[in-house]
Amino acid sequence: MSQTIRFILGFHYHIPLSAGDEAFEDAYAGRLKPFISALYKYPKIQAALHYSGVLLHWLERAHPEFFMLIGDLVSRKQVELLGGGFYEPMLPLLPLSDRIGQIELLTTYLRKQFGKRPQGCMLPLMAWEPQLVGPLNVCGMKYTFLDEGQFRRGGLSGEVLTPSITEDQGKIVAVFPVLRRLGAAFGERRASEVLASLLESEKERLLCVFPERFFTDRPDYGFHQFFEDLSAFDSRIEFTQPSKAFKNSKFLKKTYFPCSVQDDGFPETALPRRFLIDCPEANGIYAKMMFTHVLINQFRGDKSRKRTAREELWKAQGCDSFCSAPEGGVFRHSVRKAAYKALLEAEKITREPGGFTPSLLYFDFDLDGEGEYLFQGEAINCYIKPEGGSIFEFDYLPRSWNYLDTFNPEARRTAFSDRLVSPDEEIHATVPQSAQTRFCGSEKFELVRLDKEHGTVYLRLPVKPDIPYGTIEIEKSYRLKKDTLTVSYGLRNRGDSPESFQFVSSVDLSFPGEGALFIDLLEHTAETLTLQDIKNETRIVFTSDRTFDSRIESIRSPCPNKGVLKDCYQSTCIMLIQPVSLNPGEHFQTEFRLSIQR
Protein backbone atom coordinates (compact mmCIF):
# COMPACT_ATOMS: atom_id res chain seq x y z
CA MET A 1 0.00 0.00 0.00
CA SER A 2 1.32 3.43 -0.91
CA GLN A 3 2.44 5.67 1.92
CA THR A 4 1.09 9.12 2.77
CA ILE A 5 2.82 12.16 1.39
CA ARG A 6 3.03 14.96 3.92
CA PHE A 7 2.91 18.32 2.23
CA ILE A 8 4.13 21.69 3.55
CA LEU A 9 2.55 24.38 1.42
CA GLY A 10 4.27 27.74 1.93
CA PHE A 11 3.51 31.23 0.68
CA HIS A 12 5.72 34.29 0.92
CA TYR A 13 5.21 37.91 -0.04
CA HIS A 14 7.14 41.13 0.47
CA ILE A 15 6.92 44.63 -0.96
CA PRO A 16 9.90 47.00 -0.59
CA LEU A 17 9.56 49.83 1.90
CA SER A 18 10.29 52.19 -0.99
CA ALA A 19 7.14 51.15 -2.89
CA GLY A 20 4.30 53.65 -2.80
CA ASP A 21 0.72 52.99 -1.72
CA GLU A 22 -0.23 52.25 -5.32
CA ALA A 23 2.16 49.29 -5.46
CA PHE A 24 0.86 47.97 -2.14
CA GLU A 25 -2.74 48.34 -3.29
CA ASP A 26 -2.00 46.58 -6.58
CA ALA A 27 -0.46 43.65 -4.70
CA TYR A 28 -3.34 43.56 -2.24
CA ALA A 29 -6.05 43.54 -4.93
CA GLY A 30 -4.23 41.27 -7.39
CA ARG A 31 -2.64 38.67 -5.13
CA LEU A 32 -3.00 39.01 -1.38
CA LYS A 33 -6.78 39.32 -1.08
CA PRO A 34 -7.61 36.65 -3.71
CA PHE A 35 -5.15 34.24 -2.12
CA ILE A 36 -6.33 34.58 1.49
CA SER A 37 -10.00 34.62 0.44
CA ALA A 38 -9.54 31.37 -1.47
CA LEU A 39 -7.53 29.68 1.26
CA TYR A 40 -10.17 30.60 3.84
CA LYS A 41 -12.79 28.58 1.93
CA TYR A 42 -10.71 25.39 2.07
CA PRO A 43 -10.10 24.68 5.77
CA LYS A 44 -8.67 21.25 4.97
CA ILE A 45 -5.59 22.87 3.46
CA GLN A 46 -3.01 23.96 6.00
CA ALA A 47 -0.33 26.42 4.97
CA ALA A 48 2.73 28.32 6.20
CA LEU A 49 2.57 32.03 5.56
CA HIS A 50 5.38 34.54 5.57
CA TYR A 51 4.65 38.21 5.00
CA SER A 52 7.38 40.72 5.75
CA GLY A 53 6.88 43.16 8.62
CA VAL A 54 6.75 45.98 6.07
CA LEU A 55 3.77 44.39 4.34
CA LEU A 56 1.98 43.37 7.54
CA HIS A 57 2.29 46.86 8.98
CA TRP A 58 0.79 48.35 5.81
CA LEU A 59 -2.04 45.82 5.81
CA GLU A 60 -2.80 46.59 9.45
CA ARG A 61 -3.25 50.29 8.63
CA ALA A 62 -4.79 50.11 5.14
CA HIS A 63 -6.95 46.96 5.33
CA PRO A 64 -7.67 46.00 8.95
CA GLU A 65 -10.46 43.66 7.79
CA PHE A 66 -7.91 41.61 5.81
CA PHE A 67 -5.57 41.67 8.78
CA MET A 68 -8.34 40.20 10.91
CA LEU A 69 -8.91 37.47 8.32
CA ILE A 70 -5.28 36.37 8.68
CA GLY A 71 -5.77 36.33 12.45
CA ASP A 72 -8.82 34.11 12.03
CA LEU A 73 -6.82 31.63 9.92
CA VAL A 74 -4.16 31.54 12.63
CA SER A 75 -6.78 31.05 15.38
CA ARG A 76 -8.32 28.03 13.66
CA LYS A 77 -4.82 26.61 13.17
CA GLN A 78 -5.08 26.55 9.39
CA VAL A 79 -2.15 28.93 8.93
CA GLU A 80 1.23 29.05 10.64
CA LEU A 81 2.93 32.44 10.48
CA LEU A 82 6.67 32.36 9.90
CA GLY A 83 9.06 34.88 11.38
CA GLY A 84 12.21 36.48 10.03
CA GLY A 85 13.63 39.98 9.83
CA PHE A 86 10.99 42.72 10.05
CA TYR A 87 12.30 44.76 7.10
CA GLU A 88 13.11 41.68 4.98
CA PRO A 89 16.87 42.12 5.48
CA MET A 90 19.72 40.31 3.77
CA LEU A 91 20.67 38.71 7.09
CA PRO A 92 24.22 37.52 6.25
CA LEU A 93 25.29 41.13 5.60
CA LEU A 94 24.06 42.47 8.94
CA PRO A 95 26.04 42.91 12.17
CA LEU A 96 25.02 40.40 14.82
CA SER A 97 23.01 42.86 16.94
CA ASP A 98 21.02 43.96 13.88
CA ARG A 99 20.28 40.35 12.87
CA ILE A 100 18.87 39.64 16.32
CA GLY A 101 17.09 42.98 16.54
CA GLN A 102 15.33 42.58 13.19
CA ILE A 103 14.18 39.02 13.98
CA GLU A 104 12.96 39.98 17.46
CA LEU A 105 11.09 43.00 16.06
CA LEU A 106 9.00 40.80 13.74
CA THR A 107 8.62 38.10 16.41
CA THR A 108 7.25 40.65 18.89
CA TYR A 109 4.93 42.10 16.27
CA LEU A 110 3.48 38.69 15.35
CA ARG A 111 3.05 37.73 19.00
CA LYS A 112 1.23 40.96 19.84
CA GLN A 113 -0.98 40.95 16.75
CA PHE A 114 -1.79 37.24 16.45
CA GLY A 115 -1.14 35.86 19.91
CA LYS A 116 1.52 33.34 18.94
CA ARG A 117 5.29 33.48 18.76
CA PRO A 118 6.71 32.05 15.50
CA GLN A 119 8.86 28.94 15.78
CA GLY A 120 10.48 29.13 12.35
CA CYS A 121 11.50 31.80 9.86
CA MET A 122 12.07 32.59 6.21
CA LEU A 123 15.42 33.93 4.99
CA PRO A 124 15.02 36.58 2.27
CA LEU A 125 16.36 35.22 -1.02
CA MET A 126 17.32 32.18 1.08
CA ALA A 127 20.66 33.93 1.59
CA TRP A 128 22.69 31.64 3.84
CA GLU A 129 25.92 31.74 5.79
CA PRO A 130 26.74 29.26 8.58
CA GLN A 131 27.07 32.13 11.08
CA LEU A 132 23.28 32.60 10.89
CA VAL A 133 22.70 29.49 13.02
CA GLY A 134 23.62 31.24 16.28
CA PRO A 135 21.31 34.29 16.02
CA LEU A 136 18.43 32.15 14.67
CA ASN A 137 18.78 29.80 17.61
CA VAL A 138 19.10 32.64 20.14
CA CYS A 139 15.91 34.22 18.74
CA GLY A 140 13.98 31.00 19.25
CA MET A 141 13.83 30.04 15.58
CA LYS A 142 13.83 26.23 15.52
CA TYR A 143 13.84 25.86 11.75
CA THR A 144 14.22 27.68 8.48
CA PHE A 145 14.13 26.90 4.74
CA LEU A 146 16.70 26.60 1.97
CA ASP A 147 16.31 25.80 -1.72
CA GLU A 148 16.97 22.25 -2.92
CA GLY A 149 19.96 23.54 -4.87
CA GLN A 150 21.51 24.77 -1.64
CA PHE A 151 20.91 21.33 -0.11
CA ARG A 152 22.78 19.72 -2.97
CA ARG A 153 25.64 22.19 -2.59
CA GLY A 154 25.76 21.02 1.02
CA GLY A 155 26.61 17.53 -0.23
CA LEU A 156 23.14 15.94 -0.15
CA SER A 157 22.12 13.96 -3.20
CA GLY A 158 19.39 11.66 -4.36
CA GLU A 159 15.92 12.17 -5.70
CA VAL A 160 14.29 12.70 -2.29
CA LEU A 161 15.64 15.43 -0.01
CA THR A 162 14.71 15.37 3.67
CA PRO A 163 14.99 17.97 6.45
CA SER A 164 18.37 18.28 8.09
CA ILE A 165 19.90 19.95 11.09
CA THR A 166 22.87 22.29 10.84
CA GLU A 167 25.20 23.56 13.53
CA ASP A 168 27.54 26.44 14.26
CA GLN A 169 29.44 27.15 17.49
CA GLY A 170 27.31 24.65 19.38
CA LYS A 171 23.96 26.08 18.23
CA ILE A 172 21.52 24.06 16.09
CA VAL A 173 18.59 24.77 13.78
CA ALA A 174 16.64 22.49 11.45
CA VAL A 175 16.41 23.25 7.74
CA PHE A 176 13.58 22.21 5.39
CA PRO A 177 14.37 21.74 1.67
CA VAL A 178 12.15 23.83 -0.61
CA LEU A 179 11.56 21.94 -3.85
CA ARG A 180 11.90 24.56 -6.54
CA ARG A 181 11.31 22.11 -9.40
CA LEU A 182 8.06 21.00 -7.80
CA GLY A 183 7.02 24.62 -7.42
CA ALA A 184 7.74 25.19 -11.08
CA ALA A 185 5.61 22.16 -11.95
CA PHE A 186 2.61 23.81 -10.30
CA GLY A 187 3.18 26.72 -12.64
CA GLU A 188 3.06 24.51 -15.72
CA ARG A 189 0.34 21.95 -14.93
CA ARG A 190 -2.79 21.61 -12.85
CA ALA A 191 -2.22 20.73 -9.20
CA SER A 192 -4.11 17.44 -9.66
CA GLU A 193 -1.65 16.33 -12.36
CA VAL A 194 1.36 17.25 -10.23
CA LEU A 195 0.05 15.43 -7.17
CA ALA A 196 -0.86 12.34 -9.22
CA SER A 197 2.73 12.04 -10.41
CA LEU A 198 3.98 12.33 -6.83
CA LEU A 199 1.77 9.46 -5.67
CA GLU A 200 3.34 7.10 -8.18
CA SER A 201 6.19 6.69 -5.71
CA GLU A 202 5.75 4.14 -2.92
CA LYS A 203 7.96 6.09 -0.48
CA GLU A 204 6.71 8.10 2.48
CA ARG A 205 7.87 11.64 1.98
CA LEU A 206 7.73 15.15 3.41
CA LEU A 207 7.57 17.69 0.61
CA CYS A 208 7.94 21.44 1.07
CA VAL A 209 7.02 23.82 -1.74
CA PHE A 210 6.41 27.57 -2.08
CA PRO A 211 4.46 27.61 -5.36
CA GLU A 212 2.82 31.05 -5.35
CA ARG A 213 5.38 32.79 -7.55
CA PHE A 214 4.96 30.11 -10.21
CA PHE A 215 1.20 29.95 -10.69
CA THR A 216 -0.24 33.37 -9.82
CA ASP A 217 0.69 34.76 -13.22
CA ARG A 218 -1.53 32.21 -14.98
CA PRO A 219 -4.79 33.98 -15.86
CA ASP A 220 -6.47 30.65 -16.62
CA TYR A 221 -5.65 29.05 -13.28
CA GLY A 222 -6.33 31.13 -10.18
CA PHE A 223 -6.16 30.51 -6.45
CA HIS A 224 -9.65 28.99 -6.18
CA GLN A 225 -8.93 26.40 -8.88
CA PHE A 226 -5.59 25.61 -7.26
CA PHE A 227 -7.06 25.03 -3.81
CA GLU A 228 -10.04 23.16 -5.26
CA ASP A 229 -7.63 20.73 -6.95
CA LEU A 230 -5.67 20.28 -3.71
CA SER A 231 -8.72 19.91 -1.50
CA ALA A 232 -10.46 17.35 -3.69
CA PHE A 233 -7.41 15.18 -4.27
CA ASP A 234 -6.42 11.78 -2.94
CA SER A 235 -6.53 11.24 0.83
CA ARG A 236 -2.93 10.10 0.71
CA ILE A 237 -1.91 13.78 0.53
CA GLU A 238 -1.70 15.14 4.07
CA PHE A 239 -1.22 18.90 4.41
CA THR A 240 0.80 19.87 7.45
CA GLN A 241 2.69 22.82 8.87
CA PRO A 242 6.41 23.24 9.53
CA SER A 243 5.94 23.30 13.32
CA LYS A 244 4.13 19.93 13.24
CA ALA A 245 6.62 18.43 10.81
CA PHE A 246 9.50 19.61 12.98
CA LYS A 247 7.91 18.18 16.12
CA ASN A 248 7.46 14.79 14.46
CA SER A 249 10.92 14.67 12.87
CA LYS A 250 13.37 12.28 14.47
CA PHE A 251 17.06 11.50 13.87
CA LEU A 252 17.64 14.27 11.32
CA LYS A 253 20.89 14.07 9.42
CA LYS A 254 23.43 16.80 10.15
CA THR A 255 24.48 18.94 7.18
CA TYR A 256 26.77 21.93 6.84
CA PHE A 257 25.47 24.26 4.16
CA PRO A 258 27.98 26.47 2.31
CA CYS A 259 27.41 30.19 1.82
CA SER A 260 24.82 30.54 -0.91
CA VAL A 261 21.83 32.49 -2.14
CA GLN A 262 18.90 31.40 -4.26
CA ASP A 263 17.33 34.08 -6.43
CA ASP A 264 16.76 34.65 -10.13
CA GLY A 265 19.00 37.73 -9.99
CA PHE A 266 22.03 35.69 -8.92
CA PRO A 267 24.06 32.96 -10.59
CA GLU A 268 23.32 29.48 -9.25
CA THR A 269 26.58 29.40 -7.26
CA ALA A 270 26.56 33.01 -6.07
CA LEU A 271 27.51 34.03 -2.54
CA PRO A 272 25.44 36.54 -0.55
CA ARG A 273 28.38 38.97 -0.45
CA ARG A 274 29.35 38.57 -4.09
CA PHE A 275 26.84 41.19 -5.19
CA LEU A 276 28.71 43.80 -3.13
CA ILE A 277 31.70 43.24 -5.40
CA ASP A 278 29.75 43.09 -8.64
CA CYS A 279 27.55 46.11 -7.86
CA PRO A 280 29.29 49.22 -6.42
CA GLU A 281 25.90 50.79 -5.68
CA ALA A 282 25.01 47.93 -3.33
CA ASN A 283 28.44 48.13 -1.71
CA GLY A 284 27.92 51.87 -1.20
CA ILE A 285 24.73 51.22 0.78
CA TYR A 286 26.43 48.40 2.69
CA ALA A 287 29.38 50.64 3.62
CA LYS A 288 27.05 53.41 4.74
CA MET A 289 25.07 50.86 6.75
CA MET A 290 28.18 49.67 8.59
CA PHE A 291 29.35 53.26 9.18
CA THR A 292 25.93 54.21 10.59
CA HIS A 293 25.88 51.08 12.75
CA VAL A 294 29.12 52.26 14.38
CA LEU A 295 27.73 55.78 14.93
CA ILE A 296 24.67 54.35 16.68
CA ASN A 297 26.76 52.06 18.89
CA GLN A 298 28.91 55.04 19.94
CA PHE A 299 25.86 57.15 20.77
CA ARG A 300 25.40 57.71 24.49
CA GLY A 301 22.56 59.29 26.38
CA ASP A 302 18.93 59.24 25.29
CA LYS A 303 17.98 55.55 24.93
CA SER A 304 14.75 56.41 23.12
CA ARG A 305 16.67 58.34 20.45
CA LYS A 306 19.11 55.46 20.12
CA ARG A 307 16.25 52.98 19.55
CA THR A 308 14.74 55.29 16.93
CA ALA A 309 18.09 55.62 15.16
CA ARG A 310 18.53 51.84 15.17
CA GLU A 311 15.11 51.25 13.62
CA GLU A 312 15.90 53.80 10.89
CA LEU A 313 19.06 51.81 10.22
CA TRP A 314 17.02 48.59 9.99
CA LYS A 315 14.76 50.16 7.36
CA ALA A 316 17.81 50.47 5.09
CA GLN A 317 18.78 46.79 5.41
CA GLY A 318 16.08 45.34 3.14
CA CYS A 319 17.29 42.66 0.74
CA ASP A 320 16.16 44.83 -2.19
CA SER A 321 19.20 47.08 -1.54
CA PHE A 322 21.59 44.15 -2.05
CA CYS A 323 20.26 42.30 -5.08
CA SER A 324 19.12 42.88 -8.65
CA ALA A 325 15.79 41.06 -8.36
CA PRO A 326 12.88 41.16 -8.08
CA GLU A 327 11.84 44.19 -10.11
CA GLY A 328 15.34 45.57 -10.39
CA GLY A 329 16.34 45.62 -6.73
CA VAL A 330 19.10 48.14 -6.03
CA PHE A 331 19.10 49.19 -9.69
CA ARG A 332 15.80 50.95 -8.99
CA HIS A 333 16.08 54.62 -8.16
CA SER A 334 13.37 54.43 -5.46
CA VAL A 335 14.98 51.49 -3.61
CA ARG A 336 18.30 53.28 -3.22
CA LYS A 337 16.66 56.56 -2.23
CA ALA A 338 14.63 54.90 0.53
CA ALA A 339 17.75 53.18 1.89
CA TYR A 340 19.84 56.35 1.99
CA LYS A 341 17.00 58.39 3.47
CA ALA A 342 16.72 55.94 6.37
CA LEU A 343 20.51 55.84 6.87
CA LEU A 344 20.80 59.62 6.90
CA GLU A 345 17.85 59.95 9.27
CA ALA A 346 19.65 57.54 11.61
CA GLU A 347 22.90 59.50 11.31
CA LYS A 348 21.14 62.77 12.11
CA ILE A 349 19.62 61.27 15.26
CA THR A 350 23.11 60.34 16.53
CA ARG A 351 24.25 63.96 16.32
CA GLU A 352 23.78 65.74 19.62
CA PRO A 353 21.66 68.89 19.19
CA GLY A 354 24.00 71.85 19.45
CA GLY A 355 26.94 69.58 20.18
CA PHE A 356 27.99 68.42 16.71
CA THR A 357 31.38 69.58 15.44
CA PRO A 358 32.18 69.38 11.70
CA SER A 359 35.19 67.20 10.98
CA LEU A 360 37.50 65.83 8.31
CA LEU A 361 38.40 62.17 8.72
CA TYR A 362 40.71 59.71 7.01
CA PHE A 363 38.84 56.41 7.23
CA ASP A 364 38.36 53.22 5.21
CA PHE A 365 34.69 53.91 4.59
CA ASP A 366 34.02 51.50 1.72
CA LEU A 367 36.00 48.65 3.32
CA ASP A 368 38.43 48.15 0.44
CA GLY A 369 41.63 48.31 2.48
CA GLU A 370 42.40 51.95 1.62
CA GLY A 371 41.25 55.08 3.40
CA GLU A 372 38.93 57.77 2.05
CA TYR A 373 38.58 61.41 3.04
CA LEU A 374 35.30 62.14 4.81
CA PHE A 375 33.95 65.63 5.35
CA GLN A 376 31.22 65.48 8.02
CA GLY A 377 29.51 68.88 7.91
CA GLU A 378 26.43 70.29 9.58
CA ALA A 379 24.45 70.32 6.32
CA ILE A 380 26.63 68.30 3.94
CA ASN A 381 28.62 65.07 3.99
CA CYS A 382 31.25 64.80 1.26
CA TYR A 383 33.26 61.59 0.81
CA ILE A 384 36.29 61.52 -1.51
CA LYS A 385 38.21 58.56 -2.94
CA PRO A 386 41.91 58.65 -3.89
CA GLU A 387 40.95 56.79 -7.08
CA GLY A 388 39.95 59.57 -9.45
CA GLY A 389 40.29 62.14 -6.68
CA SER A 390 36.49 62.37 -6.93
CA ILE A 391 33.47 62.42 -4.63
CA PHE A 392 31.50 59.18 -4.25
CA GLU A 393 28.91 60.32 -1.69
CA PHE A 394 27.41 63.78 -1.34
CA ASP A 395 24.68 64.02 1.32
CA TYR A 396 22.42 66.98 1.93
CA LEU A 397 21.32 66.30 5.50
CA PRO A 398 18.39 68.75 5.83
CA ARG A 399 16.56 66.66 3.20
CA SER A 400 18.23 63.30 4.04
CA TRP A 401 19.26 63.04 0.40
CA ASN A 402 22.39 61.55 -1.16
CA TYR A 403 22.88 63.42 -4.43
CA LEU A 404 25.44 60.84 -5.56
CA ASP A 405 23.15 57.88 -5.13
CA THR A 406 23.32 57.12 -8.84
CA PHE A 407 23.66 54.10 -11.08
CA ASN A 408 25.17 53.37 -14.44
CA PRO A 409 25.85 49.84 -15.73
CA GLU A 410 29.16 51.01 -17.21
CA ALA A 411 30.70 52.64 -14.12
CA ARG A 412 29.77 54.09 -10.77
CA ARG A 413 28.90 57.77 -11.05
CA THR A 414 30.93 60.38 -9.13
CA ALA A 415 31.30 64.13 -8.71
CA PHE A 416 34.27 66.16 -9.95
CA SER A 417 35.66 63.32 -11.99
CA ASP A 418 38.05 64.89 -14.51
CA ARG A 419 38.94 64.42 -18.18
CA LEU A 420 41.37 66.05 -20.57
CA VAL A 421 39.74 65.93 -24.00
CA SER A 422 41.01 66.86 -27.45
CA PRO A 423 39.77 70.35 -28.56
CA ASP A 424 37.99 68.93 -31.61
CA GLU A 425 36.25 66.05 -29.77
CA GLU A 426 32.58 66.24 -28.79
CA ILE A 427 31.92 65.80 -25.06
CA HIS A 428 29.33 63.39 -23.67
CA ALA A 429 28.52 61.97 -20.25
CA THR A 430 29.80 58.51 -21.15
CA VAL A 431 33.57 58.39 -21.31
CA PRO A 432 34.65 57.63 -24.90
CA GLN A 433 37.36 55.09 -25.57
CA SER A 434 39.39 57.66 -27.44
CA ALA A 435 43.08 57.92 -28.13
CA GLN A 436 42.71 61.66 -27.53
CA THR A 437 41.24 61.58 -24.01
CA ARG A 438 42.84 61.25 -20.59
CA PHE A 439 40.26 59.95 -18.12
CA CYS A 440 41.59 60.90 -14.70
CA GLY A 441 38.69 59.17 -12.96
CA SER A 442 40.48 55.83 -13.29
CA GLU A 443 43.84 57.11 -12.02
CA LYS A 444 44.92 57.32 -8.41
CA PHE A 445 45.58 60.72 -6.86
CA GLU A 446 48.32 61.02 -4.25
CA LEU A 447 47.72 62.73 -0.94
CA VAL A 448 49.81 65.88 -0.61
CA ARG A 449 48.39 67.11 2.70
CA LEU A 450 45.39 66.53 4.94
CA ASP A 451 44.75 69.82 6.73
CA LYS A 452 42.17 68.91 9.38
CA GLU A 453 42.51 72.28 11.13
CA HIS A 454 41.34 74.18 8.04
CA GLY A 455 39.21 71.36 6.63
CA THR A 456 41.07 70.91 3.35
CA VAL A 457 42.33 67.89 1.40
CA TYR A 458 45.21 68.45 -1.06
CA LEU A 459 45.74 65.84 -3.80
CA ARG A 460 48.05 65.43 -6.79
CA LEU A 461 47.83 63.41 -10.00
CA PRO A 462 51.38 62.77 -11.26
CA VAL A 463 52.42 62.75 -14.89
CA LYS A 464 52.13 59.61 -17.02
CA PRO A 465 54.04 60.31 -20.23
CA ASP A 466 52.77 57.19 -22.05
CA ILE A 467 49.09 58.26 -22.19
CA PRO A 468 47.26 61.18 -23.91
CA TYR A 469 48.01 64.46 -22.10
CA GLY A 470 50.10 62.41 -19.68
CA THR A 471 52.58 65.24 -19.22
CA ILE A 472 49.91 67.31 -17.46
CA GLU A 473 50.25 67.26 -13.67
CA ILE A 474 47.04 68.02 -11.76
CA GLU A 475 46.84 69.42 -8.25
CA LYS A 476 43.41 69.34 -6.69
CA SER A 477 41.99 70.38 -3.33
CA TYR A 478 38.61 70.12 -1.58
CA ARG A 479 37.32 72.44 1.10
CA LEU A 480 33.87 72.27 2.71
CA LYS A 481 32.42 75.21 4.61
CA LYS A 482 28.78 75.15 5.72
CA ASP A 483 26.72 74.57 2.55
CA THR A 484 29.48 75.23 -0.01
CA LEU A 485 32.10 72.86 -1.41
CA THR A 486 35.11 74.46 -3.10
CA VAL A 487 37.20 72.42 -5.55
CA SER A 488 40.44 74.05 -6.68
CA TYR A 489 42.61 72.88 -9.57
CA GLY A 490 46.15 73.55 -10.68
CA LEU A 491 47.26 72.11 -14.05
CA ARG A 492 50.93 72.27 -15.08
CA ASN A 493 52.54 71.13 -18.33
CA ARG A 494 55.59 69.07 -17.33
CA GLY A 495 56.38 68.10 -20.91
CA ASP A 496 58.54 69.62 -23.65
CA SER A 497 55.70 70.47 -26.07
CA PRO A 498 52.65 72.76 -25.91
CA GLU A 499 49.35 71.09 -25.01
CA SER A 500 45.80 72.22 -25.80
CA PHE A 501 42.70 70.42 -24.52
CA GLN A 502 39.27 70.79 -23.00
CA PHE A 503 39.32 70.40 -19.23
CA VAL A 504 36.09 68.63 -18.21
CA SER A 505 34.94 68.05 -14.65
CA SER A 506 31.81 65.89 -14.47
CA VAL A 507 29.32 66.01 -11.61
CA ASP A 508 26.59 63.34 -11.46
CA LEU A 509 23.60 64.35 -9.36
CA SER A 510 20.70 62.07 -8.60
CA PHE A 511 17.50 64.10 -8.42
CA PRO A 512 14.07 62.69 -7.49
CA GLY A 513 13.39 62.38 -11.23
CA GLU A 514 13.88 64.18 -14.51
CA GLY A 515 11.77 66.66 -16.42
CA ALA A 516 9.96 69.83 -15.43
CA LEU A 517 8.29 68.22 -12.40
CA PHE A 518 11.61 67.49 -10.70
CA ILE A 519 14.45 69.61 -12.05
CA ASP A 520 14.70 72.99 -13.74
CA LEU A 521 17.62 74.92 -15.26
CA LEU A 522 17.20 78.35 -13.71
CA GLU A 523 20.31 80.16 -14.90
CA HIS A 524 23.46 79.65 -16.94
CA THR A 525 25.83 82.58 -17.31
CA ALA A 526 29.53 82.65 -18.13
CA GLU A 527 30.50 81.94 -14.51
CA THR A 528 27.32 80.51 -12.89
CA LEU A 529 25.05 77.51 -13.43
CA THR A 530 21.93 77.11 -11.26
CA LEU A 531 19.65 74.06 -11.14
CA GLN A 532 16.51 73.74 -9.07
CA ASP A 533 15.59 70.48 -7.33
CA ILE A 534 11.85 71.09 -7.15
CA LYS A 535 10.85 68.17 -4.92
CA ASN A 536 13.63 68.75 -2.38
CA GLU A 537 13.08 72.52 -2.54
CA THR A 538 16.77 73.24 -3.09
CA ARG A 539 18.95 75.07 -5.59
CA ILE A 540 22.21 73.56 -6.80
CA VAL A 541 24.56 76.39 -7.75
CA PHE A 542 27.89 76.02 -9.56
CA THR A 543 30.16 79.06 -9.72
CA SER A 544 33.72 79.52 -10.92
CA ASP A 545 36.43 82.18 -10.91
CA ARG A 546 36.71 81.61 -14.69
CA THR A 547 34.16 81.41 -17.46
CA PHE A 548 33.01 77.89 -18.26
CA ASP A 549 30.71 76.11 -20.65
CA SER A 550 28.49 73.21 -19.63
CA ARG A 551 26.70 70.20 -21.02
CA ILE A 552 23.86 68.42 -19.20
CA GLU A 553 22.70 64.88 -19.95
CA SER A 554 20.32 62.43 -18.28
CA ILE A 555 21.68 59.03 -17.34
CA ARG A 556 19.14 56.26 -17.91
CA SER A 557 19.36 52.48 -17.77
CA PRO A 558 17.02 49.50 -18.37
CA CYS A 559 15.16 48.42 -15.25
CA PRO A 560 12.35 45.86 -14.73
CA ASN A 561 8.92 47.35 -14.16
CA LYS A 562 6.02 44.88 -13.71
CA GLY A 563 7.96 42.30 -15.68
CA VAL A 564 8.91 44.63 -18.55
CA LEU A 565 12.28 46.28 -19.09
CA LYS A 566 11.91 50.04 -19.26
CA ASP A 567 14.41 52.88 -19.47
CA CYS A 568 14.52 54.43 -15.98
CA TYR A 569 16.05 57.72 -14.88
CA GLN A 570 19.13 57.33 -12.70
CA SER A 571 20.91 60.67 -12.55
CA THR A 572 21.81 63.91 -14.30
CA CYS A 573 25.37 64.47 -15.45
CA ILE A 574 26.59 68.09 -15.41
CA MET A 575 29.84 68.58 -17.33
CA LEU A 576 31.78 71.76 -16.55
CA ILE A 577 34.06 72.60 -19.48
CA GLN A 578 36.99 75.02 -19.82
CA PRO A 579 39.50 75.33 -22.73
CA VAL A 580 43.15 75.11 -21.68
CA SER A 581 46.38 75.79 -23.59
CA LEU A 582 49.70 75.31 -21.80
CA ASN A 583 53.26 75.82 -22.98
CA PRO A 584 56.00 73.75 -21.35
CA GLY A 585 56.22 74.65 -17.65
CA GLU A 586 53.10 76.83 -17.82
CA HIS A 587 50.47 76.63 -15.05
CA PHE A 588 46.65 76.95 -15.20
CA GLN A 589 44.46 77.50 -12.16
CA THR A 590 40.69 77.28 -11.81
CA GLU A 591 38.16 76.83 -9.06
CA PHE A 592 34.58 75.54 -8.88
CA ARG A 593 32.20 76.08 -6.00
CA LEU A 594 29.15 73.87 -5.48
CA SER A 595 26.57 75.13 -3.02
CA ILE A 596 23.14 73.86 -2.00
CA GLN A 597 20.60 76.50 -1.06
CA ARG A 598 17.16 76.00 0.49
Helical segments of 408-531, H only: none
Percentage of the chain lying above the pLDDT 70 cut: 93
Residue 432 has pLDDT above 60, yes or no: no
Which pLDDT band, with edges at 50, 70 and 90, does 3 fall under?
low
Three-state DSSP class for 383? Answer: strand
Q: What's the mean pLDDT when you consider all of the chain?
A: 91
CATH topology of 5-124+178-251 equal to that of 413-597? no
Lowest average pLDDT, out of 147-156, 202-211, 501-510, 583-592, goes to 202-211
Amino acid at 171: K
Beta strands in 58-158 (DSSP E): 79-81, 143-147
Spatial distance between the Cα atoms of 81 and 73, rounded to a whole number of angstroms: 10
Lowest average pLDDT, out of 195-209, 486-500, 512-526, goes to 195-209
pLDDT score of 121: 98
Lowest average pLDDT, out of 90-99, 138-147, 181-190, 281-290, goes to 181-190
Spatial distance between the Cα atoms of 10 and 214, rounded to a whole number of angstroms: 12
Sequence-distant (≥ 6) Cβ neighbours of residue 332 within 8 angstroms: 18, 320, 559, 568
CATH no. of 413-597:
2.70.98.10
472 alpha carbon, distance to own chain's centre = 39
Tell me the average pLDDT across 112-122. 96
pLDDT score of 204: 64
pLDDT score of 4: 76
**Would you kindly state where each structural domain of the chain is located, as residue ranges?**
5-124+178-251, 413-597
Tell me the average pLDDT across 466-494. 96
More confident residue, 189 or 336: 336
Report pLDDT digits (tens) over 280-324: 999 999 999 999 999 999 998 789 999 999 999 999 999 999 988
Q: Using an 8 Å Cβ cutoff, are 296 and 286 in contact?
A: no
CATH fold, domain 5-124+178-251, is 7-stranded beta/alpha barrel (3.20.110)
pLDDT score of 430: 72
Specify the long-range contacts of residues 359-367, CB closer than 8 Å, at least 24 apart.
359/452, 360/450, 360/451, 360/452, 360/455, 360/456, 360/457, 360/480, 362/450, 365/287, 365/291, 366/283, 366/284, 366/287, 366/392, 367/283, 367/286, 367/287, 367/290
pLDDT score of 1: 42
pLDDT score of 288: 98
Sequence-distant (≥ 6) Cβ neighbours of residue 235 within 8 angstroms: none
Report pLDDT digits (tens) over 166-201: 999 999 999 999 998 888 888 788 888 888 888 876
